[in-house]
A and B are shown apart, each in its own frame.
Chain A
Amino acid sequence: MSILSQISTKPWLPDDNNKVPRNADRGTGRLADNKVGLWVFLAVVSSLFLILGNAYVARRGFEDWHALPELGLLWFNTGLLILSSIALQWSKLSASRGHRESVKLSLLVGGFLACGFLFGQLYAWHQLSEMGYFVSSNPANSFFYLITGIHGLHLLGGLVALVRATFRAWSESESEQVYLISVSLCSVYWHFLLLVWLIFFGLMFFS
């Protein structure tokens, strides 16, 4: 049932009484619950980045704004994050096909690539401050550090979940159902954070 037809039913009509309609629109089970929880959380994080992006665009209009130089390293980092996302997609596909060994491998690869991205971002901070672009020297710099920092923290939180998923895939006692949930949630979160990064990368350097 679509939302619209759902909220236009008339629950007070007597012929509606005594019926026990199916709540068929929702899947049941732990996986469905966690998925809904994750999507709600993604809405929260989207709201956060949306406001950050709005503030960025508003502040950019002021005349004291000096854009940052384009760092080659950031392209490299972006590549790492894309590969990491691909690795997790691979891991999700393997999990749904029951190839446990490739799940383990792809989780490890994805995790290392994500760590590589985080270290790359830290190194980008280092490069910028070597070149004299400090947090306080210009609002463009402040925003760069703020946005990459918040994005990195979100990825770090994702890594905690990824480590849990990896342990689950490794431990023989866990059923396939359990690590399938973890892996598929992680992959959705990874794609989301990749999308956020691509949007901000474009916003900060190519618009």
Chain B
Amino acid sequence: MTQAPYQEDLPLHEPKSIWTKYVWSQDHKVIAIQYTITAILMGLVGLFLSGLMRLQLGFPGSFSFIDPASYYQFITMHGMIMIVYLLTALFLGGFGNFLIPLMVGARDMVFPFLNMLSYWAYLLSVLVLMASFFVPGGPTGAGWTLYPPQVILQGTPGADGGITLMLVSLALFIVAATMGGLNYVTTVLQARTYGMTMMRLPLSVWGIFMATVLALLAFPALFVGAIMLLFDKFAGSSFFMPAIFSMGKQLAHEGGSPVLFQHIFWFFGHPEVYIVALPAFGIVSDLLSAHARKNIFGYRMMVWAILAIGGLSFIVWAHHMYVSGMNPYFGFFFATTTLIIAVPTAIKVYNWTLTLWHGNIRLTIPMLFSIAFISTFTIGGLTGLFLGNVVIDLPLSDTYFVVAHFHMVMGVAPLFVVFGGIYHWYPKATGRMLNDTLGHFHFWVTFIGTYVIYFPMHYLGFIGVPRRYYADEAYKFIPESAQGLNEFITLAALIVGVVQLVFVFNLGWSYFRGKRAGSNPWHATSLEWQTPQTPPEHGNWGAKLPVVYRWAYDYGVPGVEADYLPQNVQAVGDVDDKVSSEGILAET
């Protein structure tokens, strides 16, 4: 028999008051919900900002409160909020916190106190970021990439208070992510239950695990960049600031290299794409398998692909910087690595598709969102192959083609997984199902809306409409037809944006009125569905930790009445031996 994980016998610190139970909680499930709610609220802020941007683009000049400065502030905050404060926080802090201990069969994270600190540091970073809306000059409008020199120069919106708060907020976020990340990695490595080998882990855990490793190694780059920017701004150093005239007078800076910042930023920025994508890859694998009643195709290859993507993601960063003017050999190298990273990614797409093939597909809401993910991710990924080549990227880089590409591949695609994941695990977290009718409405509007919004943007990019411009009229090279397309996109975006409120309403309404879920409504195999209580209590497993006998994908097992075998179920030996030796369905 196996060594007993010593956590089994550790005393559980039961929360004593309502404050320690729901607010200053060290329970991973409560922290996960805190993370999720905060991140969703941030997402709504980001969504609102994108609506304002679309209003300006669709109907330029009709809204007097959107001047160029505020437009750039909306862009910047929208980007930063969606990537860092929504997606990163939700996948790692939300899904990671909820799923890792439950899926590996642990009582909690290994360092619960650190886990609590992680959430509160995240909340603080959110509050600091939101505070920048209320300081004189408003939030920074430098773009989410925060390129110097313009990021700290007068004339850029928010060059005084806004940028300082942004950098401080990012530093706090990184501290929060590091505290959380230490927990996720250590818990996966140390706190797995009896029989839970690494290769019996559900792919959700693998995806979140690898994404956390990336986050731990990549966020320090952003941290260093932010500190150095603060030095340039406040201490007068010239890390990134070249000799420059601003507002008619020469500044004291000289000799700094803005491209150095770009390298540091994108050394964080590209792994960040996979910090968001890898958890999505993992989660969607589990959703597809459970709702198609079929084992995941190529489990081992899926794990290897996650590892390969994680490794490769650190050597592709400069493909974000082709237009900065680099040595052609340099560009050649990064174009090659960029194309190579498409190989493990394509393997994953094939495996998802092959998982569906001959599956007993149930078109539940999580399944619909998973299929939608494959669709948008593939299309966004294909345009990425174009942009990964230097010669194609140069003319397209500053156009809406890029906006369409990354919104498809790393904006909408991971969000579909977020939605699918929430529809899938909401019953475990609350004990009730989300409303199905509202879910279908939400799905179809969002899915169709995605294509209606982003497909035309590719065409805008082809005809050369530049991104980041406040207004498109008055430029001779932009045809008038672009304006009609922009109006159309704006209308679609506003509709899709409003429909997201249906989802938020569903989250609240179903908590009180939703259908009771029972412990395993999807008949899924992984451990989180086998808890003695739903929602699981503090400590998750009662007196004894579960024992794991198999991998997480025994769906459609021949000869088994329920068509699936949970990981902690020891099969009736005879029947299964027969199946395996003769390869036929055992007569019972």
Interface positions of A (Cβ within 8 A of B): 6-12, 14-24, 26, 28-30, 32-33, 36-37, 40-41, 43-45, 47-48, 51-52, 55, 58-59, 62-64, 135-136, 139, 142-143, 145-146, 150
Q: Is the CB of B237 within 8 A of A47?
A: no
Q: Is the CB of B216 within 8 A of A40?
A: yes
Cα distance, A19 to B551, chains bound together (Å): 11
Q: Is the CB of B257 within 8 A of A47?
A: no
Task: Give the interface segment out of B60-68, B153-161, B568-576.
Answer: B568-576
Cα distance, A40 to B580, chains bound together (Å): 41
Q: Is the CB of B304 within 8 A of A7?
A: yes
CB distance from A53 to the nearest CB of B (A): 10
Q: Is the CB of B182 within 8 A of A17?
A: no
Q: Is the CB of B182 within 8 A of A37?
A: yes
Q: Is the CB of A18 within 8 A of B549?
A: yes
Q: Is the CB of B198 within 8 A of A20?
A: no
Q: Is the CB of A55 within 8 A of B260?
A: yes
Q: Is the CB of A36 within 8 A of B576?
A: no
28 intermolecular pairs with C-beta atoms under 8 Å apart:
A7-B199, A7-B303, A11-B199, A12-B551, A17-B576, A20-B1, A20-B549, A23-B196, A28-B4, A28-B6, A29-B6, A33-B111, A40-B181, A40-B182, A41-B182, A43-B217, A44-B219, A44-B220, A51-B264, A55-B239, A58-B260, A59-B256, A62-B255, A135-B237, A136-B235, A142-B238, A146-B228, A146-B237
Q: Is the CB of A21 within 8 A of B257?
A: no
Q: Is the CB of B576 within 8 A of A14?
A: yes
Q: Is the CB of A23 within 8 A of B197?
A: yes
- Contact A36 B553, CB 8 Å, known A55-B239, A139-B256: no
- Contact A47 B573, CB 8 Å, known A14-B580, A40-B185: no
Cα distance, A80 to B198, chains bound together (Å): 44
Q: Is the CB of A135 within 8 A of B236?
A: yes
| Chain A, interface SS category | helix
- Measured between beta carbons, the chain B residues less than 8 angstroms from A17 are 549-550, 554, 571, 576
Cα distance, A32 to B110, chains bound together (Å): 11
- Measured between beta carbons, the chain A residues less than 8 angstroms from B221 are 47, 51
B270 sits at the interface (CB 8 A): no
CB distance from A14 to the nearest CB of B (A): 4
B200 sits at the interface (CB 8 A): yes
- Contact A20 B238, CB 8 Å, known A6-B199, A40-B182: no
Q: Is the CB of B231 within 8 A of A12?
A: no
Q: Is the CB of B549 within 8 A of A59?
A: no
Task: Give the interface segment out of B77-85, B187-195, B401-409.
Answer: B187-195
- Measured between beta carbons, the chain B residues less than 8 angstroms from A11 are 197, 199-200, 299, 550-551
Assuming A11-B550, A20-B548, A142-B231, what are 18 further A-B pairs, CB within 8 angstroms? A9-B197, A14-B577, A19-B549, A22-B2, A28-B6, A28-B190, A33-B191, A36-B186, A36-B189, A44-B182, A44-B217, A44-B219, A47-B220, A48-B223, A58-B260, A59-B239, A62-B257, A63-B255
- Measured between beta carbons, the chain A residues less than 8 angstroms from B547 are 20
Q: Is the CB of A135 within 8 A of B216?
A: no
CB distance from B539 to the nearest CB of A (A): 17
Closest B residue to A136 by CB, please name it: B236
Cα distance, A52 to B224, chains bound together (Å): 7
- Measured between beta carbons, the chain A residues less than 8 angstroms from B573 are 18
Q: Which one of B1, B238, B300 contacts A139 once the chains associate, using CB atoms below 8 Å? A: B238
Closest B residue to A139 by CB, please name it: B238
Cα distance, A27 to B571, chains bound together (Å): 29
- Measured between beta carbons, the chain A residues less than 8 angstroms from B224 are 48, 51-52, 55
Closest B residue to A3 by CB, please name it: B198
How many contacting A-B pairs (Cβ < 8 A)? 163
- Give a binary string over B46-65; 1 marks a CB under 8 Å from any A CB, 0 the rest: 00000000000000000000
- Measured between beta carbons, the chain A residues less than 8 angstroms from B191 are 33
B391 sits at the interface (CB 8 A): no
B323 sits at the interface (CB 8 A): no
- Contact A47 B216, CB 8 Å, known A12-B299, A55-B260, A146-B231: yes
- Measured between beta carbons, the chain B residues less than 8 angstroms from A20 are 1-2, 194-195, 547-549
Q: Which one of A21, A37, A43 contacts B195 once the chains associate, using CB atoms below 8 Å? A: A21
Q: Is the CB of A40 within 8 A of B186?
A: yes
- Contact A28 B299, CB 8 Å, known A14-B580, A142-B238: no
Cα distance, A57 to B572, chains bound together (Å): 63
Cα distance, A135 to B238, chains bound together (Å): 9
CB distance from A44 to the nearest CB of B (A): 5
B320 sits at the interface (CB 8 A): no
CB distance from B214 to the nearest CB of A (A): 11
B178 sits at the interface (CB 8 A): yes
- Measured between beta carbons, the chain B residues less than 8 angstroms from A29 are 6
CB distance from A156 to the nearest CB of B (A): 15
CB distance from A125 to the nearest CB of B (A): 13
B313 sits at the interface (CB 8 A): no
Q: Is the CB of B299 within 8 A of A26?
A: no
- Give a binary string over B550-584; 1 marks a CB under 8 Å from any A CB, 0 the rest: 11011000000000000000110100110110000
Q: Is the CB of B239 within 8 A of A19?
A: no
Closest B residue to A32 by CB, please name it: B190
Q: Which one of B190, B228, B255 contacts A33 once the chains associate, using CB atoms below 8 Å? A: B190
CB distance from A164 to the nearest CB of B (A): 13
Cα distance, A15 to B181, chains bound together (Å): 35
Cα distance, A51 to B227, chains bound together (Å): 12
B5 sits at the interface (CB 8 A): yes
- Contact A142 B197, CB 8 Å, known A19-B549, A52-B224: no
CB distance from A106 to the nearest CB of B (A): 27
Q: Which one of B238, B300, B576, B580 contacts A7 once the chains associate, using CB atoms below 8 Å? A: B300
Q: Is the CB of B199 within 8 A of A9?
A: yes
- Measured between beta carbons, the chain A residues less than 8 angstroms from B255 are 62-64, 139
Q: Which one of B190, B252, B304 contacts A26 once the chains associate, using CB atoms below 8 Å? A: B190
Cα distance, A139 to B239, chains bound together (Å): 6
B487 sits at the interface (CB 8 A): no
- Measured between beta carbons, the chain A residues less than 8 angstroms from B267 are 51
Q: Is the CB of B194 within 8 A of A64?
A: no
Cα distance, A63 to B257, chains bound together (Å): 12
B295 sits at the interface (CB 8 A): yes
Closest B residue to A49 by CB, please name it: B220
B437 sits at the interface (CB 8 A): no
CB distance from B147 to the nearest CB of A (A): 16
Cα distance, A142 to B260, chains bound together (Å): 15
Q: Is the CB of A10 within 8 A of B300?
A: yes
Closest B residue to A61 by CB, please name it: B257
Cα distance, A69 to B264, chains bound together (Å): 28
Q: Is the CB of A146 within 8 A of B299?
A: no
Cα distance, A30 to B10, chains bound together (Å): 10
Cα distance, A51 to B570, chains bound together (Å): 49
B254 sits at the interface (CB 8 A): yes
Cα distance, A18 to B566, chains bound together (Å): 12
